Chains A and B, each alone.
Chain A
Amino acid sequence: MDFKLTEEQELIRANMREFARQYVDPIAVEIDENSRYPAEVMAKLAEGDWMGMPYPQEYGGAGVDYVTYACVIEELSRSCAATGFTLSCHTGLASGPIYYFGTETQKQKYLAPLCKGQHIGAFALTEPGAGTDVGAGSTTAVLDGDEYVLNGTKTFTSNGPVADTFVIFAVTDKAAGTKGMSAFIVSKDTPGLKVGEHFMKMGIRASQTSEIILHDCRVPKENLLGKEGQGFRIAMQTLDNGRIGVAAQAVGIAQAALDESISYSKQRIQFGKPISKNQAIQWMLADMATDIAAARFLTYYAAYLKDQGQPYSKEASMAKLFAAEMASRHTSKAVQIHGGYGYVKGQKVERLMRDAKITEIYEGTSEAQRMVIAGSILR
């Protein structure tokens, strides 16, 4: 058993830390305030080959393992959770299904520009009436000659307003239930695809989220991802994979909350001494550090299992569940440690608290994770 990262993993982590300090920290407050997409950071990420991390070099990726990927998402999220998520959504949710289920032609045409960062990807699964209940989706795809005709509305599509390539899920056979769902690769300029309402969110505000409206959107037959009826499986496998990214994001948020809390509590003087000398504060910091370490190892373990080709669905859910809930809990504690100052806009802990909440909701709510875990242990 070896808990040590390799030298390459440590260097990659340190390089992403430096990247985030140099390019992300200076704009993090502004992009949150204005809900602005950090296009300049995404371009820099593309320059540094960070956009297709786990995919093979033949598609423009870097071919690194998922433990390394988790380290990178954590470090980027430590500076800005919205930027971290924009990258993990692009890499895990959008590029993932094309890599795992796409044909060679689809990979060359769609995955390669995503890995090189020339295109941004989005994953359109959720609908107004189908959140955790993925199978209740009502978007339809009807084969008409050489094209599928898509109709329906997707909601809460992360990266929706900025994406070039979408992986969209639609029902091809209503009678077949979840086995009647299929996945399609759709370019943003396909007639009939429209970006709908942009959502103004409580947290991860620089991550762009919108509705995607499909009105007689004609998608070439060759853009079917996998086989007809395989959509539910593609979605579930992609979400398993994505959960490692969200867990890493939550660890990064919590680590940032701890960093801020340590620094603030050492310099904040009350009753003639730094508040870090008070046991009440020390216990909060100790609990934070302990939970972060536990969440980080759960995340690495899920990533390690995936790297080994072993089943990792339960572990990814555990990592995501634990990391998300501890991030919410401890960012709230971090605001508490900062007192009134922590409640003021522009203070990092205020943003962290808002950013942490989403990790309990997207890519499967905490309740959905518990369903996955319970289903696995009660088998």
Chain B
Amino acid sequence: MLNIVTCFKWVIDEAYIKVGASRELDLEWADYKLSDYDRNAIEEAMRIADIEGGTVTAVTVGSSDATKGIKDALSRGPEKAIFINDPAFTDLEPSQTASLLAEVIASRLQYDLIICGEGSSDLYAQQVGPRLAELLDIPCIAFVSKLDIKERQVIAERKMEDGIEVVTAPLPALVTVLPDINSPRIPGLKDTLGAAKKSVISIGKEELTGMAKPHLETTAIEAATMERHCIKFNPDAEGIKQFVDALLKEGVMG
């Protein structure tokens, strides 16, 4: 029997972000969604719990805008959720999110395995998982594309640039998962209706020791732009030479 914790983030759905004339982001019509890789994390938690037995608790940090996210997460199988909820908990940087998660998980949950998505759909800093493991002083395995539990050991395949690395770690441990690890379920109608009846424990700022100061300051957020040029080359030897020179000049080829 394993106590599995899975962390998730309720993020702006990038499909709804509009870019203004001066590259500012227009979030007026933005809708939110469960961060993509966190769906994989929840699915993996459910898969392991199905095989090994145990309970799955979903944990998130956010403001009360995230209540829909809690229902979304619970509709994917976890038995209960912990909502670290305060108006101040928006736009946190990863170190702050990790410290809040660590305090709550360490003080209120028994855990054998913590599963996080590799990175969030919005910032993709890939920091919350490793920082959380560090604060809890447990092993962390990142870039996981396959996960098994055997005799209280995590056996994980890590997808590296030059191949697959297989590593093991004793429980308790934290893994961050890639989207290759599984296909997240699409909650059925009764899953969504049932989610509203599951237990959600809300923890406010006043119940916590305090939030660390941010290490980073966000000065501006602008849409990335991709420079495009339209240059025509003749289909002859001279044209090809000019084409190669142009690629070299742009740094596309070196």
Contact = CB atoms under 8 A, between A and B. Distances in A.
Interface of A: 7-8, 10-12, 14-15, 18-19, 22, 47-50, 53, 57, 62-64, 72
A275 to B, nearest CB: 19
20 contacts: A8-B192, A8-B193, A10-B68, A11-B75, A11-B192, A12-B192, A15-B75, A15-B187, A15-B188, A15-B189, A19-B186, A48-B186, A48-B187, A48-B188, A48-B189, A49-B191, A62-B193, A63-B193, A64-B193, A72-B189
Contacts, number: 48
Interface of B: 33, 67-68, 71-72, 75, 186-193, 195-196
Contacts of A48: 186-189, 191
B71 A18 contact: no
Contacts of A53: 189
Nearest to A21: B186
A7 B71 contact: yes
Contacts of B71: 7-8, 11
B190 A62 contact: yes
Interface of B, helix, strand, loop or mixed by DSSP: helix
Contacts of B190: 49, 57, 62
The 7 closest A-B pairs by CB, nearest first: A48-B188, A7-B68, A49-B189, A62-B189, A49-B190, A49-B188, A19-B186
Contacts of B186: 15, 18-19, 22, 48
A74 B67 CA distance: 25
Contacts of A14: 33
B189 A64 contact: yes
A22 B185 CA distance: 11
Nearest to A48: B188
A66 to B, nearest CB: 14
A248 to B, nearest CB: 16
Nearest to A44: B186
Contacts of B68: 7, 10-11
A196 to B, nearest CB: 35
A7 B200 CA distance: 15
Nearest to B184: A18
A47 B191 CA distance: 11
